Amino acid sequence: MATNDDAFTPVRIPAREVMPPPTISAAAQRNLSTGAGNPRMNWPPASDIEAWRRHVANVDPVREALFTTMLEGVKTPIETTHIAGVLCYDCVPEGHDAARDPVYLFVHGGAFVAGGGVFAKAVGGRAADSIGVRVVSVDYRMPPEDPFPAAPEDCVAVYQALLETIDPARLVIGGSSAGGNIAAAATLMIRDRGLPLPAGTVLLTPEVDLTESGDSFTTNAELDVILKGGLPDCNAIYAGGHDLTDPFLSPLFADYTKGFPPTLVQSGTRDLFLSNSVLIHRKLRGAGIEAELHVWEAMPHGGFLLGDVPENAEIQAEVARFIRRVTA
């Protein structure tokens, strides 16, 4: 990687108003427009632990109502359980063949500091509904109480427990946003500890670079209606004083020539994390790892919000196809 040079000439772009494009579904256009007025997220500084506790206590009930509605729409039966001592939501579709079918270990997003509980349960259930496989959604420990490496360690512990009864050739690890980071980090830990690798890894708009060095942190700032700007405070409180370039904190900087499973990477052209996605896709391929990239038109971070949006269903269809292929 080269360092930036103050002598370089910047590109100058005038102020602009950007409408939803006609090239996406009507539902996606509506969601982009609805999101257009969103303020930036207002996270506390990483140094103020008490402010974090208050922040989470304030926002959790608001979010919980939304996620409870999401959860009510889930058809797959969900068992709340502990695996290797880690809280998990085990979403097992009807007809699941425990001896043969794929199992998707899913790591929820939420900027490393949110998204446990009802959200983790609802997104696990929705993934099981749409992908049609058993999903184990991990409610990993989070800061401020439990910073790095608690989250990927929890995922590795669950994976190791699943290995007792499930062939790794049937296991896929994946996650979205912060969950994509943790899924990649857990897979690297699995590799470096000599455990058998899963059959595949799914990185949905992943925050794989906590230094946020990618170009889209500038070019898609404000344009992404979900993530208006980077999350340095969340990244710092998660890192808990560790160097942000540590490959287990920023998997973009890992050495993939030592091996990694086939990987699906997803993003959108308006995604603040578009650069994260294309950079890790290229890094994997440069190391000879089989990796496929899927980028959706005008999509912000994390998909076109909630609701029945055809493009969101397309993501799940690609993930389903990928999981079936790598576990076949």
> Contact positions toward a copy of itself, by CB under 8 A?
1-5, 8-26, 29-30, 32-34, 36-37, 213-216, 218-219, 222-223, 225, 269-270, 274-275, 278-279, 281-282, 285-286, 292-298, 314, 318
| 8-11, Cβ contacts within 8 angstroms, sequence gap of 24 or more | none
Nearest-approach distance from CB 321 to a copy of itself, in angstroms: 9
**45 vs 286, which CB is nearer to a copy of itself?**
286
Nearest-approach distance from CB 209 to a copy of itself, in angstroms: 8
**Is the previous residue joined to 149 through a cis bond, with omega within 30 degrees of 0?**
yes
Cα–Cα distance, 41 to 126 (Å, whole number): 25
Collapsing DSSP to helix, strand or coil, 254 comes out as coil
Nearest-approach distance from CB 215 to a copy of itself, in angstroms: 4
**2 vs 65, which CB is nearer to a copy of itself?**
2
Report the 10 Å Cβ neighbour count for 179. Answer: 30
Beta strands in 114-269 (DSSP E): 134-138, 171-176, 200-204, 263-268
* Environment class of 215 (CB within 10 Å of its CB; exposed 0-12, middle 13-18, buried 19+): exposed
Nearest-approach distance from CB 110 to a copy of itself, in angstroms: 23
Nearest-approach distance from CB 87 to a copy of itself, in angstroms: 36
**157 vs 293, which CB is nearer to a copy of itself?**
293
Cα–Cα distance, 35 to 228 (Å, whole number): 10
**145 vs 290, which CB is nearer to a copy of itself?**
290
CA angle 234, 235, 239 (to 5 degrees): 120
**125 vs 261, which CB is nearer to a copy of itself?**
261
Nearest-approach distance from CB 310 to a copy of itself, in angstroms: 10
Q: Judge contact between 266 and 316, C-beta under 8 A.
A: no
- The conformational region for residue 110 under phi > 0 = left, psi -120 to 50 = alpha, else beta, is left
**5 vs 72, which CB is nearer to a copy of itself?**
5
Cα–Cα distance, 128 to 78 (Å, whole number): 9
**24 vs 83, which CB is nearer to a copy of itself?**
24
Q: Judge contact between 264 and 202, C-beta under 8 A.
A: yes
Nearest-approach distance from CB 212 to a copy of itself, in angstroms: 10
Report the 10 Å Cβ neighbour count for 222. Answer: 12
Nearest-approach distance from CB 248 to a copy of itself, in angstroms: 20
**17 vs 164, which CB is nearer to a copy of itself?**
17
